[in-house]
Amino acid sequence: MPQEAFSRLAALAMLVILLLGAGIPARAAESVAFKFVLDIELGTSVTEGAVPVIGNRFAISEVTWFRRVDLSGAIDGERIKVTGDWDGNYLSGECQAVHGQCQLTFQTTGIIYSAFISLNVR
């Protein structure tokens, strides 16, 4: 009888270790707040907002300097990758989120002098 009790206790302990040790999956992100900065010959534009996260993806579509900027992002654990287009000029970048926040400088093409985005994953 003591051997059976010991086996049950060991099985229960193993279950607890698996649940706590392996971790319960993190809560999925619900939204991303952003501040997007675009610097071109005409000047600097700042756009802010928040968008929903669907699965692990989000999309930002705003108008800046009279043209639409379309950005799409993917959240992979603590890594966030964002790519996009502003009037045929392409942007891309990645960052490591710390406490749900990150800032990235985009690699750009065309007439964009520089572009940055700050993200806050909620």
Q: For the segment 55-77, what is each residue's pLDDT rounded down to a tens digit? A: 999 999 999 999 999 999 999 99
**Whole-number pLDDT of residue 38:** 97
Q: How confident is the model at residue 37 (pLDDT cuts 50, 70, 90)?
A: very high
Contact criterion met (CB below 8 Å) for 30 and 54 = no
| Assigned domain for 7 exists | no
CATH code of the domain in which 67 resides: 2.40.128
**Whole-number pLDDT of residue 2:** 62
pTM of the predicted structure, to 2 decimals:
0.75
| Assigned domain for 78 exists | yes
Pairing verdict, β 57-64 and 43-52 = unpaired
Q: Output phi, psi for 16, to 5 deg.
A: -60, -45
With a cut of 50, say whether residue 22 has pLDDT above it: no
The residue-averaged pLDDT of 105-113 equals 96
Domains contained in the chain, number: 1
**Whole-number pLDDT of residue 112:** 96
Mean pLDDT score of the chain, rounded to an integer? Answer: 85
Provide the residue count of the chain.
122
| Assigned domain for 23 exists | no
**Whole-number pLDDT of residue 29:** 84
| Assigned domain for 18 exists | no
Between 24 and 53, where is the model more confident? 53
Range of the domain at 76: 31-121
| Assigned domain for 75 exists | yes
| Assigned domain for 68 exists | yes
| Assigned domain for 21 exists | no
